[in-house]
């Protein structure tokens, strides 16, 4: 049972480039979320989805885009990378919105 799988684990981008962070879960969870983690600030919610075809913004959505075409996949797109988006990104899934979340291993992104 793989749980939540994120790719890539590391990425370096130049300012202005775009890319997609991949997230897949095999637990048939309806809820999926993307967080970013910065030193001293905790995990902050970027976007989330309560099911296929439904997405909504979190606390820090600017510069990011998401879609949810299947229950399993929830990719995060950086439209035009900026140095302020240098961070560690985590994808999470949960059975319901108020049950425990299962996290992926993270993607460490550096924008130069």
Closest CB to another protein among residues 85, 106: 106
| Structure-block tokens of residue 74 | 């929830």
* Nearest distance from C-beta of residue 80 to another protein, angstroms: 26
* CA pair distance 72, 104, nearest whole angstrom: 13
DSSP 3-state of 79 = coil
End-to-end CA distance of the chain: 36
Closest CB to another protein among residues 32, 81: 32
For the chain, state the CA radius of gyration. 13
* Nearest distance from C-beta of residue 49 to another protein, angstroms: 11
Closest CB to another protein among residues 85, 107: 107
* Nearest distance from C-beta of residue 98 to another protein, angstroms: 5
Q: Which residues bind another protein (CB under 8 A)?
A: 4, 33, 35, 40-45, 48, 56, 58, 90, 92, 97-106
* CA pair distance 12, 44, nearest whole angstrom: 21
């Amino acid at each position: 049972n793989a749980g939540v799988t994120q790719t890539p684990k590391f990425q370096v981008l130049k300012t202005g480039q775009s890319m997609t962070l991949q997230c897949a879960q095999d637990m048939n969870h309806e809820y999926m979320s993307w967080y970013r983690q910065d030193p001293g600030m905790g995990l902050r919610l970027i976007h989330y989805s309560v099911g296929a075809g439904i997405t909504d913004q979190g606390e820090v959505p600017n510069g990011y885009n998401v879609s949810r075409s299947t229950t399993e996949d929830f990719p995060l797109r950086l439209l035009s990378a900026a140095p302020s988006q240098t961070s560690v990104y985590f994808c999470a899934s949960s059975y319901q919105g108020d049950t425990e979340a299962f996290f992926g291993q993270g993607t460490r992104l550096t924008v130069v």
